[in-house]
């Protein structure tokens, strides 16, 4: 300031200096865009800027307090009252100089909202509480105000931005469906009526009535068009001079039918024809009068004639029909409809108000509710095919409806009422359990929920228009929860979501700008309660819906979503029914029929749980298996076979095969090979050395750490023949893991060969297989069979142990007994997986238990084992050559290995699987 007042008592002169700064178009646009994108009012943004300006102007003063004027009409009863309600309020902030502007704005927004909650508290009381007087309060010297100046204040606006619901429908037609070549209408809303027998309607009077009704409700003659300059969808009320020229406001069509098939074709055309309406021209309503056999000569409609009132969903929702019929009856009865556009709230006015609403709380809720949710990933539903990324929806769908039936409905309705549970929440729990099972255990489930009547204020209940919204409903389930635990979770999430269901879907999607495809919209859920009060009065005549199911718009739902479930509660009979709708782009009719049967299975299981009072059962224990599938699985699993083999051990079976086929090839590695007789000889030499030199006793664990080689096979069978327990170790493991595993076995003896000697220190006793075989080959020219026969092992002894990976803690040893392994081998032989004619490639790592099947299982069945050289399974060129050259017939790869190897074969144009007859994939 240039000077100070001499005292607080000095009177003000009242003189002032005014400086005016105009925002250019670019600055105005930036200001408005920032406010819109951050969900701010213009007042909140302007005040934030003013605070930043004062902070800099006062050289960093962070404790700032200014005054502002508030309209203070805080109750709806005060809005239309003449009087003085304006109050002055102090707005105080304590800023942090380190804050960004976004943080300042958020802070100021919260302050404004908290101040407005108490805006009715008089300034005099505020000052009195602080022991101040109005003459010495400094914050009253600095004022902030934001004044909105409207053009054409005296006139009635006919243009406004479209509502969020209208924009959603308009965009959906153009983005998710092909706007250039629409195959089917998804937002036509036909309502079909007939007259009661003996009742008539005057056609001339009906025409006049329709004109009066359409004139009263601007939504029925409103156009939607996209303003390129504003980048905004706009709506415009189409008025006609004197409101007498009604020809272009809507259309009345008259046709004739003679057969039921003709009438059905007309009904389906009204439902599915995409060319009936033109929203850009405001043609969003039509009346179709269908005469039976001939046009009425006496200007009267009879009970065999049909009336269709058809609306475009962008300007009309289902609750609007009640308003429409009420006004239609009043206009038909009295010949007039009283209304005043200048005082009545129009849908267009609601759209303007909606744009200005503060939705901070709702924004924060939805941001938190969907945090970490993968909105772009669809649910893993059992589709028959998938839609390409650039492929438009056709809108064609299939729909299956069924009643719960008297008993099921009674069980669920009674359970809900007796436990004070909303029937909507109960059915939602059932649906989410069903989805959890249908998606094979998917626990983070997010889908779209249709909000069919969002008229949350009394003033909106008499307005025709679109008040629908779609919100995401997300549940994170625990498979171990019981029904009531999940119910409590559903109640909490649904109640909160419904509280903020007015928050536009567009705003929710804008919170996740990195997601281009909002897959959660492809699956939807709906619960509707209705009373089938079918009689509607038009004057003295009664009209009834020709088909209630046609009027509830089932097919429109199925056309919009890929998969939806709607549950209906008929209040007249207190029973439930269900409709499952699925897009034919993704599902076959047969698949949807099976899904409906599976849903019925879930209903019956839950109903039985209610009856038996067993609601504590975990939800993962529920089953979707149909009765025919259950019988099929029982027959497939009825594979019990008694094997009559004697109570012998693995090495006994091996010796038996040697006696039968001594000269057959037992094992090969490149150019090396051993017959069964030769293999037995080396196995006996090694086992005798283990017994005589290293004192192996029956049941003692012997570890082996070797690369793929003939020595690996000799070592495994040598340990078994000596009565030991085979324990494989991987040469790929680090030394500290190998030592930890050996310590668990409580044995320091490890079979090695020249490639793995260096992996163990002096605390471990390495036994070189190759050295034993070469040094004892002349010593044991005549094998001491008596010494081997003294080894006492039985079929219930442990044959081998394999350690787990230890990913969940300390590695654990999984053991297998001789009897178990022999029965397993006989079972795979009985199933045709492996037999004595097979040539088996040994590709699995020694830490994977399948390698035991590849080696010992093959030897027990007198098959041939083909070993690879070290790292041979990683050399696809070598492996492919081995498969072809050795004529491999049996493989047991893990899926990732098979996938990469098949990719190699495809690129190299090889046919290495030509001899393979048995492919065992697992792991």
Q: What is the CATH number of the domain that holds 258?
A: 3.30.559.10
What is the tens place of the pLDDT at every residue in 70-128?
A: 877 766 666 667 777 788 889 999 999 999 999 999 999 999 888 888 887 888 888 88
CATH of the domain at 671: 3.40.50.12780
Tell me what pLDDT residue 241 has.
Answer: 47
Q: Using alpha carbons, select from 226, 207, 393 the residue that is nearest to residue 314.
A: 226
Q: CA 418, 527, 392: angle at the middle one, nearest 5? A: 155
Contact 144, 42 (CB under 8 A): no
Residue 110 lies in a domain: yes
Task: Examine the fold and report which residue of 144, 169, 201 is the final residue of a domain before the chain moves on.
Answer: 144
Q: What is the mean pLDDT of residues 495-522?
A: 90
Across 391-395, 675-679, 690-694, 883-887, least confident range: 391-395
- Give residue 663's pLDDT band: very low, low, confident or very high (50, 70, 90): very high
Q: Which pLDDT belongs to residue 875?
A: 93
Buried/exposed code over 442-464 (b: 16+ C-beta within 10 A; e: otherwise): eeebbbbbbbeebbeeeebeebb
Whether residues 263 and 188 share a domain: the answer is: yes
- Give the three-state DSSP class for 617: coil
Which CATH number is 478's domain given? 3.30.559.30
User: Are both 116 and 250 inside the same structural domain?
Assistant: no
Buried/exposed 793-825: b ≥16 CB within 10 Å, e otherwise = bebebbbbbbbeeeeeeebebeebbbbebbeeb
The one-character DSSP state at 136 is: G
Q: In whole angstroms, what is the distance from residue 796 CA to residue 818 CA?
A: 6
Q: Could you tell me if residue 794 is inside a domain?
A: yes
Q: What are the angstrom distances between the C-alpha of 375 and each of 385, 445, 474, 519, 562? A: 21, 10, 10, 6, 15
The predicted model gives 850-874 an average pLDDT of: 95
Task: Using the predicted structure, report yes or no on whether residue 219 has a pLDDT greater than 90.
Answer: yes
The reported pTM is: 0.59
Tally of residues, the chain: 923
Which region among 26-35, 207-216, 700-709 has the lowest average model confidence (pLDDT)? 26-35
Burial class (CB within 10 angstroms; exposed 0-12, middle 13-18, buried 19+) of 301: buried
- Element (H or E) spanning 365, and its range? helix 360-369
The alpha carbon torsion through 58, 62, 68, 73 (nearest 10 deg) reads 170
242 — pLDDT class (breaks 50, 70, 90): very low
Calculate ∠ Cα 779-783-789, nearest 5°. 140
Q: Which residue has tokens 């605390």? A: 763
Give how many domains the chain has, as a whole number: 4
pLDDT of 548 > 60? The answer is: no
* Triad 284, 288, 291: Cα angle to 5°: 180
- Residue 433 pLDDT greater than 60, yes or no: yes
824 and 899 fall within a common domain = yes
- Dihedral of CA atoms 126, 132, 138, 141 in degrees, nearest 10, equals 60
Q: Give the pLDDT confidence of 570-581 residue by residue, as tens digits.
A: 988 899 999 999
Q: Tell me how crowded residue 875 is: count the other CB atoms within 10 A of its CB.
A: 13
Residue 450 and residue 528: Cα distance in Å, rounded?
A: 10
The pair of three-digit structure tokens given for residue 318, joined into one six-digit string = 């289902």
Read off the pLDDT of residues 196-213 as tens digits, 9 standing for 90 and up. Answer: 999 999 999 999 999 999
Please tell me whether residues 807 and 841 are part of one structural domain.
yes
| 715-726 confidence digits (pLDDT tens) | 999 999 999 999
Residues 337, 281 share a domain: yes
pLDDT recorded at residue 485: 92
Our measurement of the distance from residue 67's CA atom to the centroid of its chain's CA atoms, rounded to an integer in Å, reads 49
Question: Look-up: residue for tokens 């509707």?
Answer: 528
Q: Could you tell me if 702 and 606 lie in one domain?
A: no
Is residue 219 one of the residues assigned to a domain? yes
Q: Residues 639-655: what's their mean pLDDT? A: 79
**Structure confidence at residue 240 (pLDDT):** 59
Q: Does residue 689 belong to any structural domain of this protein?
A: yes
| 890-923 core/surface letters (b: 16 or more CB in 10 A; e: else) | bbbbeeebeeebeeebeeeebebbeeeebebeee
pLDDT score for 557: 41
pLDDT confidence band for 554 (50 / 70 / 90): very low
**Both 197 and 250 in a single domain?**
yes
Last residue of a domain, one of 599, 633, 667: 633
- Could you tell me the pLDDT band of residue 748, with boundaries at 50, 70 and 90? confident
Query: Of the ranges 126-140, 473-487, 646-660, which one carries the lowest mean pLDDT score?
Result: 126-140
Query: Does residue 290 sit in the same domain as residue 266?
Result: yes
Instruction: Find where tokens 């962070």 sit.
Output: 62
Q: In this model, does residue 706 exceed pLDDT 50?
A: yes
Indicate whether 778 pLDDT > 60. Answer: no
**Is 597 a member of any domain?**
yes
Q: What pLDDT score does 243 carry?
A: 44
Asked whether residue 640 is domain-assigned, the answer is: no
Average pLDDT over residues 225-249: 75
- In angstroms, the CA 880 to CA 897 distance is 13
710 closest CA partner among 765, 759, 671, 653? 671
Mean pLDDT value across the chain: 87
793 and 890 in a single domain? The answer is: yes
Q: 149-183 burial, b for 16+ CB within 10 Å, e for fewer?
A: eeeeeeeeeeebbbbbbbbbbbebbeebbbeeebe
Residue 151 pLDDT greater than 70, yes or no: no
Q: Where are the beta strands (DSSP E) in 187-337?
A: 188-195, 201-202, 222-227, 232-237, 251-257, 285-292, 300-301, 306-312
582 shares a domain with 523: yes
Average pLDDT over residues 555-565: 67
- Residue 390 pLDDT > 80: no
State how far the alpha carbon of 270 is from the alpha carbons of 274, 301, 525, 584, in Å.
9, 20, 25, 21
Give the bridge partners for 839, in sequence order.
864
Residue 1 lies in a domain: no
Separation CA 435–CA 216 (nearest Å): 45
Burial bucket for residue 269 (CB in 10 Å: 0-12, 13-18, 19+): middle
Summarised one tens digit per residue, pLDDT across range 595-610 is 999 999 999 999 988 8
Q: Is the pLDDT of residue 777 over 80?
A: no
Give tens-digit pLDDT for 330-378.
999 998 887 766 667 889 888 888 888 878 889 999 999 999 999 989 8
Measured between alpha carbons, how far is 720 from 715 in angstroms, rounded to an integer?
9
Tokens at 711, concatenated: 């020595």
Q: Does residue 358 fall inside a structural domain?
A: no
Q: Which of 310, 328, 350 is the last residue of a domain?
A: 350
Q: What is the b/e burial string over 585-610, where b = at least 16 CB atoms within 10 angstroms of the residue's CB?
A: bbbeeebbebbbbbbbbbbebbbebb
Same-domain check for residues 573 and 697: no
Residue 317 domain boundaries:
159-350
* Pair 59, 86 in one domain: yes
The average pLDDT across 754-765 equals: 84
Distance between CA atoms of 11 and 649, rounded to whole angstroms? 115
User: What is the predicted pLDDT for the residue at 211?
Assistant: 93
Q: φ, ψ for residue 432 (rounded to 5)?
A: -75, -30
Q: From CA 205, how far away is CA 214, in angstroms rounded?
A: 14
């Amino acid at each position: 300031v240039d000077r100070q007042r001499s005292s607080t008592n000095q009177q003000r002169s009242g003189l002032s200096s005014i400086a005016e700064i105009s925002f250019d178009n670019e600055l105005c646009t930036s200001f408005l865009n920032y406010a819109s994108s951050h969900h701010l009012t213009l007042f909140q943004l302007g005040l934030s800027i003013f605070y930043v300006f004062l902070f800099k102007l006062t050289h960093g003063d962070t404790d700032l307090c200014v005054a502002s004027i508030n309209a203070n009409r805080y109750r709806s009863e005060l809005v239309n009252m003449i009087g003085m309600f304006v109050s002055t309020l102090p707005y105080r902030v304590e800023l942090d100089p380190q804050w960004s502007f976004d943080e300042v704005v958020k802070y100021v927004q919260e302050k404004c909202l908290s101040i407005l909650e108490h805006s009715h508290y008089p300034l005099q009381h505020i000052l009195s509480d602080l022991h101040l007087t109005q003459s010495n309060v400094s914050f009253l010297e600095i004022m902030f105000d934001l004044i909105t100046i409207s053009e054409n204040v005296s006139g009635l606006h006919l243009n406004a931005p479209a509502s969020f619901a209208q924009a959603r429908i308009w965009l959906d037609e153009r983005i998710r469906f092909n706007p250039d070549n629409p195959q089917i209408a998804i937002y036509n809303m036909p309502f079909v009526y007939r007259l009661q027998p003996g009742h008539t309607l005057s056609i001339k009077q009906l025409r006049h009535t329709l004109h009066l009704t359409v004139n009263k409700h601007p939504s029925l003659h409103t156009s939607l068009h996209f303003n390129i300059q504003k980048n905004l969808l706009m709506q415009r009320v189409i008025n006609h001079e004197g409101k007498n020229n009604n020809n272009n406001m809507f259309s009345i069509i008259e046709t004739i039918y003679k057969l039921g098939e003709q009438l059905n074709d007309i009904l389906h055309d009204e439902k599915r024809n995409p060319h009936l309406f033109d929203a850009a021209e405001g043609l969003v309503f039509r009346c179709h009068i269908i005469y039976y056999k001939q046009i009425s000569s006496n200007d009267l409609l009879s009970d065999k004639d049909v009336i269709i009132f058809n609306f475009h969903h962008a300007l009309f929702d289902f609750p609007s029909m009640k308003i429409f019929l009420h006004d239609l009856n009043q206009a038909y009865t009295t010949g007039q409809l009283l209304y005043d556009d200048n005082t009545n709230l129009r849908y267009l006015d609601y759209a303007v108000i909606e744009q200005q609403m503060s939705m901070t709380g709702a924004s924060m809720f939805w941001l938190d509710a969907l945090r970490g949710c993968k909105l772009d990933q669809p649910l893993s539903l059992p589709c028959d095919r998938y839609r390409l990324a650039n492929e438009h929806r056709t809108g064609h769908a299939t729909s299956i409806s069924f009643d719960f039936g008297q008993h099921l409905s009674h069980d669920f309705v009674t359970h809900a009422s007796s436990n004070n549970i909303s029937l909507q929440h109960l059915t939602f729990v059932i649906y989410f359990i069903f989805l959890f099972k249908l998606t094979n255990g998917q626990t983070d489930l997010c889908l779209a929920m249709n909000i069919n009547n969002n008229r949350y204020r009394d003033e909106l209940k008499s307005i025709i228009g679109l008040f629908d919204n779609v919100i995401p409903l997300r549940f994170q389930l625990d498979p171990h929860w019981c029904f009531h635990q999940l119910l409590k979770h559903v109640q909490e999430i649904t109640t909160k979501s419904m509280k903020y269901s007015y928050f536009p879907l567009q705003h929710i999607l804008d919170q996740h700008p990195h997601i281009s495809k909002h897959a959660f919209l492809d699956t939807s859920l709906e619960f509707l309660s209705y009373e089938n009060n079918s009689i509607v009065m038009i004057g003295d005549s009664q009209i009834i819906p020709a088909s209630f199911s046609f009027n509830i718009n089932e097919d429109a739902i199925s056309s919009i979503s890929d998969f939806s479930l709607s549950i209906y509660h008929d209040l007249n009979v207190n029973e439930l029914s269900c409709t499952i709708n699925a897009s034919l782009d993704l599902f076959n009719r047969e698949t949807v029929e099976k899904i409906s049967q599976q849903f019925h299975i879930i209903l019956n299981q839950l109903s039985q749980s209610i009856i038996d009072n067993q609601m504590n059962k975990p939800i993962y224990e529920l089953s979707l298996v149909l009765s025919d599938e259950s019988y099929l699985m029982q027959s497939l699993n009825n594979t019990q076979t008694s094997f009559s083999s004697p109570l012998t051990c693995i090495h006994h079976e091996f010796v038996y095969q040697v006696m039968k086929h001594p000269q057959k090839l037992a094992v090969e590695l490149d150019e090396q090979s051993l017959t069964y007789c030769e293999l037995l000889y080396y196995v006996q030499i090694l086992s005798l050395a283990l017994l005589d030199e290293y004192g192996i006793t029956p049941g003692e664990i012997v570890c082996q750490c070797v690369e793929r080689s003939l020595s690996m096979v000799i070592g495994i069978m040598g340990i078994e023949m000596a009565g030991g327990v085979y324990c494989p170790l991987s040469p790929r493991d680090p030394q500290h893991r190998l030592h930890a595993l050996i310590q668990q076995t409580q044995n320091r003896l490890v079979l090695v060969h020249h490639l793995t000697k260096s992996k163990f220190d002096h605390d471990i006793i390495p036994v070189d297989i190759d050295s034993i075989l070469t040094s004892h080959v002349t010593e044991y020219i005549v094998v001491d069979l008596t010494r081997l026969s003294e080894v006492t092992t039985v079929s219930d002894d442990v044959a081998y142990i394999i350690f787990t990976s230890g990913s969940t803690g300390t590695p654990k040893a999984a053991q297998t007994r001789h009897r178990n392994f022999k029965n397993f081998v006989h079972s795979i032989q009985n199933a045709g997986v492996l037999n004595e004619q097979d040539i088996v490639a040994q590709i699995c790592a020694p830490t994977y238990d399948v390698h035991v099947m590849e080696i010992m299982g093959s030897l027990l069945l007198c098959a041939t084992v083909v070993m690879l050289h070290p790292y041979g399974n990683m050399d696809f060129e070598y492996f492919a050559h081995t498969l072809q050259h050795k004529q491999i017939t049996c493989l047991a790869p893990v899926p990732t290995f098979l996938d990469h190897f098949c990719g190699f074969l495809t690129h190299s144009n090889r046919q290495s699987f030509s001899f393979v007859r048995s492919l065992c994939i697992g792991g």
